[in-house]
Amino acid sequence: MGIPVSLRFNIGSVYAIVVGANTGVRWTKYGSCLDASGAKYSCEGPSEVGMFLGPEVSLLNFRFGQKRHLEMAAIQGCAVPLHGTSIFYNTFVFSMLW
């Protein structure tokens, strides 16, 4: 669960490049896992809970609608926790700009 902060560089009326950061709290809970053959096994381990901070970038950010108030973006980022393993992620975001 995080709070993104970003800067948008509008290139034309539809396209934008977005750079920013994301900070928040993350948690993981290990449960059953699958091995190479697809069989389940228990991989219980320590749960990780803590704060994270990391960069985000979107080179595919498009606005549409009559007032260009709707936006769809493909975002790439990295969540770097204070303790634990970093996570790289890709996500699609649909938002309405006010």
- The pLDDT, as a whole number, for residue 45 is 58
| Phi, psi angle pair for 9, to nearest 5° | -105, 105
Say if strands 87-96 and 70-81 run parallel, antiparallel, or are unpaired.
antiparallel
Handedness of CA 6, 9, 10, 16 (dihedral sign): negative
pLDDT of residue 73: 95
pLDDT at position 5 is 93
pLDDT in tens, the chain (98 residues): 889 899 989 999 899 999 999 999 887 765 556 666 767 666 665 567 789 999 999 999 999 998 889 999 999 999 998 877 788 999 999 999 88
